Amino acid sequence: MSRQDINRSGEMEVFVRAVELGGFSAAAAACRMTPSAVSKLMTRLEARLGTRLINRSTRKLQLTPEGTAFYQRSVTILADIAEAERYASAGEQATGPIRINTSGSFGNHILAPLVPQFMALHRGITLDITQTDRVVDLMEERADVAIRAGPMKSSSLVARKLGSTRNFIVASPDYLARHGEPKSIADLEKHCRVGFSYSRAIQGWPLVSDGQTVNVPVTPGVQVSDGEAMRHMALAGAGMARLAAFTLRQDIAAGRLTVVMEAFNPGDIEDFYAVYIGQGGPLPARVRALLDFLATHAKL
């Protein structure tokens, strides 16, 4: 018999049961085997180890010194195996940590308000949230879920759509009082526009001109690394910004920001996805719980 054909943990379990229950017949009943099968297994085990583990008599089993040492180590190993299995199967109980990577905008405006409700529903889950607009490698970052916007590139990742949002160009009332409101695409040349400092799929602002959607390049007076920084620049009156509607809702309602150039807005839609590594087998219950919750409660 090759080493790969030997079920060492199975042998250990039968041996431990025989010792703890005091006989082969009791061990056979506990392990759903016949007494003769247990006796043969013990004989093979001793032959393989090259030592006697048990001194047999008609009345009881007596461990040899080698058998005592093997019993103690077997108990420890079987406990370690059981613990490993409990840890792995905890993935079916919606417990444990979830590492989330998201943009600052989605994190602040959508995710953060939902966290208390999610945590109340899943008290065994902990969240580790990183906010960045940079597209991350989930494997490198050891992230369970990333929230991303825009079209998904073909990859080994799985994307679950959370919703869609429109985009608006906004400016603060103070900025418009100082610089005036643009009435045409050409007027944008006279205004400071806040842009992103990193490469994006669409670099400019899509606007409608003569019935056609054109991409108007943005030469920003101010560049920022994320959408929340852009929003704060617009609030401070540093310039105009084009941002997702869900990040602007409260500011527009409160009068802190004003929508401009709406007549030129093409009404383009930006999709948001929860992206995860799903090709390697079933998802842990904790990750499934988060994905289901976001798909139901994330209102963009």
In sequence order, what DSSP letters do the residues of 59-97 get, joined into one string?
A: S-EEE-HHHHHHHHHHHHHHHHHHHHHHHHHGGGTT-EE
Model confidence pLDDT, tens digit, residues 143-176:
889 998 877 665 667 888 999 999 999 999 999 9
Q: What percent of the chain has pLDDT over 70?
A: 87
Cα dist. 220→134, 187, 276 in Å? 19, 14, 33
CB neighbourhood size of 44 (10 A): 13
Q: Out of 1.10.10.60, 1.10.10.10, 2.60.40.10, 3.40.50.20, which CATH number does the structure's domain 3-90 have?
A: 1.10.10.10
**What is the average per-residue pLDDT within 12-29?**
88
3-state secondary structure of 120: helix
Please report the pLDDT score of residue 233 as a whole number. Answer: 96
Topology alike, domains 3-90 and 165-269: no
- Residue 6: the pLDDT is 67
Global pTM reads 0.68
Q: How much is the pLDDT for 2?
A: 43
pLDDT higher than 50, residue 186: yes
Band (pLDDT 50/70/90 cuts) for residue 47 is: very high
Architecture of the 92-163+270-297 domain: 3-Layer(aba) Sandwich (3.40)
> Domain spans of the chain?
3-90, 92-163+270-297, 165-269
* Strand 96-102 relative to strand 145-149, pairing: parallel
The reported pLDDT for the residue numbered 266 is 94
Question: With 80 as the cut, is the pLDDT of residue 105 above it?
Answer: yes
Domain 165-269 sits in CATH at 3.40.190.10
**pLDDT tens, position by position, 225-273:** 889 999 999 999 999 999 999 999 999 999 999 999 999 999 989 999 9
